[in-house]
Amino acid sequence: MSEIANYVIHGASQVTPAICEKVLRSMPLWKMEFTQIQAPHYPHLVNQLEFLAAVVEDVAEGAYKDLPYNALAAAIFALTYAHKKTDIIPDSLGRLGHADDSSVARAVLIMHERAFKRYADVHDVDWNKITDKP
């Protein structure tokens, strides 16, 4: 398993219901923040973060009840990681700045692809716009 996948698994294991509540309260601001990300070398990053935010909101509000908890925790970890101002690669480093954010989001989507694709299908979201597939 890749180091990023192990990092995501560890980070997701630290997510508690209290963290979920805190993230949910912060979500409106975070979603606005995510739309401002300028990362042309990672063209799917904003769509992926917006998708994960929608999933977290729907699950936390009880509008979607079929997502496994480990997928929810991983999504929360990815959103929290993308929001952090200090992460493995500082976002201010130009082309490389969002490589880590993209890697974490993609790892979450790949690790829980079946569950997230099911959510996308139920909510009529084009899965190909979320993944890196053309």
Total domains in the chain come to 1
**Quick check: is 132 in a domain?**
no
CA dihedral angle for residue 13, residue 20, residue 129, residue 88, rounded to 10 degrees = -60
Asked whether the beta carbons of 104 and 84 are under 8 A apart, the reply is no
**Quick check: is 75 in a domain?**
yes
Q: Is the pLDDT of residue 12 over 50?
A: yes
Identity (one letter) of the amino acid at 32? M
Q: Residue 1 has what pLDDT?
A: 55
Cα separation of the two ends of the chain: 25
**Quick check: is 134 in a domain?**
no
**Quick check: is 64 in a domain?**
yes
Helix (DSSP H) and strand (DSSP E) numbers for the chain: 7, 0
**Quick check: is 29 in a domain?**
yes
| Range(s) of the domain holding residue 61 | 3-127
Per residue in 102-130, pLDDT (tens digit) is: 999 999 999 999 999 999 999 999 998 89
**Quick check: is 47 in a domain?**
yes
**Quick check: is 133 in a domain?**
no
Residue with tokens 């993209």: 102
Per residue in 71-98, pLDDT (tens digit) is: 999 999 999 999 986 676 656 666 667 7
Supply 22's token pair: 């805190």
**Quick check: is 67 in a domain?**
yes
Q: Is the pLDDT of residue 134 over 70?
A: no
Per residue in 16-50, pLDDT (tens digit) is: 999 999 999 999 999 999 998 888 888 889 999 99
